[in-house]
Amino acid sequence: MERLLEPERMIVVRVPWVDDRGETHVNRGFRVQFNQALGPCRGGFRFHPSMSLSVAKFLAFEQTLRNALSPYKIGGAAGGSDFDPKGKSDNEVMRFCQSFMHEIYRYLGIDKDLPSEEMGVGTREMGYLFGQYRRLAGHFQGSFTGPRIFWSGSSLRTEATGYSLVFFAQLLLADLNKDFKGIRCVVSGCGKIALHVLEKLIAYGALPVTVSDSKGYLVDEEGFDYDKIALLREIKTQQRSLMTQDYSKTYARAKYYDEAKPWNERCDVAFPCATQNEIDQSDAMNLVNSGCRILVEGSNMPCTPEAVDVLRKSNVLIAPAVAAGAGGVVAGEFELNHECNSVNWSPQDFESKLQEAIKQTYQRSLKAALDFGYSKESPEYLVHGAVISAFLTLAQAMTDQGCV
Ligand SMILES: NC(=O)c1ccc[n+]([C@@H]2O[C@H](COP(=O)([O-])OP(=O)(O)OC[C@H]3O[C@@H](n4cnc5c(N)ncnc54)[C@H](O)[C@@H]3O)[C@@H](O)[C@H]2O)c1
């Protein structure tokens, strides 16, 4: 256990860059390669002012469990920088990404570690990061970016994590002899994960009614549809806050609440998709009082320990991020797969393969829970099952490899 809890490698680098006015800035960059007993690392890059070594460690540990639970043999890592891409020009973001990659590229590679999108890092950032990596490494191997740059197929890489959360929740509902039709859902965040959760919820006939950002939340009692999601995406792409009322000008019945979170809105299922610790004790009480029966973790560690206590006591079922959010891992491995690069899968092919992989993850979590005495009556049976299954896989590999 001591070896498992200590990261294999923690890298901290200085990242100097020059803004459009010629002024120099210095940020910090991080990469924590937590555990490579199962294979080379995979994990996200996050760009956010709150990013620190401590956050990178927790994200890398979660990623290690998620990867161990996935159908693939891969290790876990996470990293990023306290650089804030908000309000920066494309050129500034590019200069930052190039400087960051200059410091970090020697630790990356297909057999070492491949990064993926996380908070504050999307296709633009990944493009700049990969461009610089390719120049410095002198090869093109290791597509650590989204598919748009590499091939014109449909790997649904950016969509995959959000979609997988809904696939996982659907399996959970099916086990309870229910489905998503008419199910009222509250969602937090308004980024890559949240908007793809909305998309898939609508496809399954659910009624998602909220999104949020760090300033407040928006509720649309009529539920979102694809046109409304397109508007939300436009607002976010232009780096505007939900607070600007751009949405409620078009959809007059929608309401925006400043300095508030969506957890007191009536719901059956909640999808926290913003950031860690976004649900504290009083938020959890609000969720329980608003009727929530299932919480699907999109963000990593969305609940504080006190919030988990409240949810446990109120029998709210939890779908853990390490299992439900496995879509990104799966998509990344599909993308690297030779077959995927030579055969252009349709979005439908991709989606059905993604669904199958999530089903395996769900079943593995369920089996481990039942094998270790956690019945479906326990609100955290899937949390325990997912962690036990990942732990056993990792512990076996580490034991087999001796004291390394
Ligand atoms: N489960 C997984 O496998 C997985 C994979 C990638 C990301 N994530 C997690 O999902 C979350 C969102 O990631 P993303 O890729 O969508 O990021 P993103 O940068 O695309 O979007 C983040 C969104 O959250 C909002 N936000 C930020 N801080 C907030 C706060 N305090 N309260 C409410 N909203 C806030 C932002 O305005 C933005 O809309 C992160 O916590 C990330 O760790 C999980």
**CATH number for the domain that contains residue 177:** 3.40.50.720
Q: Is 68 within the bounds of a domain?
A: yes
pTM listed for this prediction:
0.94
Q: Is 369 within the bounds of a domain?
A: yes
Q: Is pLDDT larger for residue 371 or for residue 140?
A: 371
For ligand 1, pick from 51, 63, 72, 118 the residue to mutate: most ligand atoms within 8 Å of CB: 118
Q: Is 187 within the bounds of a domain?
A: yes
- 280 with 259, same domain: the answer is yes
- 130 with 107, same domain: the answer is yes
Q: Is 351 within the bounds of a domain?
A: no
Q: Could you tell me the two tokens for 275?
A: 């950031």
Q: Which amino acid residue places its CA nearest to atom 6 of ligand 1? A: 118
ipTM of this complex:
0.96
Give per-residue pLDDT as tens, 248-280.
Answer: 888 988 999 999 999 999 999 999 999 999 999
Question: Among 149, 184, 213, which residue terminates a domain?
Answer: 149
Domain of 100 in residue numbering reads as 2-149
- 317 with 383, same domain: the answer is yes
- 140 with 200, same domain: the answer is no
Question: Among 101, 117, 149, which residue terminates a domain?
Answer: 149
* pLDDT value for 341: 61
Give per-residue pLDDT as tens, 14-55.
Answer: 999 999 999 999 999 999 999 999 999 999 999 999 999 999
Ligand 1 surroundings by CB, under 6 angstroms = 44, 118-120, 161, 188-194, 212-214, 236, 273-275, 278, 298-300, 321, 325, 328
Q: Which amino acid residue places its CA nearest to atom 36 of ligand 1? A: 213
Cα separation, 93 vs 148, in Å, equals 19
Q: Specify the number of domains making up the chain.
A: 2
Q: Is 353 within the bounds of a domain?
A: no
- 158 with 60, same domain: the answer is no
Q: HEC string of 205-232?
A: CCEECEEEECCEEEECCCCCCHHHHHHH
- 192 with 286, same domain: the answer is yes
Going from the Cα of 193 to the center of ligand 1, the distance in angstroms, rounded, reads: 7
- 161 with 134, same domain: the answer is no
- 251 with 335, same domain: the answer is yes
Give per-residue pLDDT as tens, 179-236.
Answer: 999 999 999 999 999 999 999 999 999 999 999 999 999 999 999 999 999 999 999 8
Q: Is 352 within the bounds of a domain?
A: no
- 274 with 202, same domain: the answer is yes
Q: Is 27 within the bounds of a domain?
A: yes
CATH no. for residue 83? 3.40.50.10860
- 122 with 221, same domain: the answer is no
Going from the Cα of 265 to the center of ligand 1, the distance in angstroms, rounded, reads: 20
- 319 with 330, same domain: the answer is yes
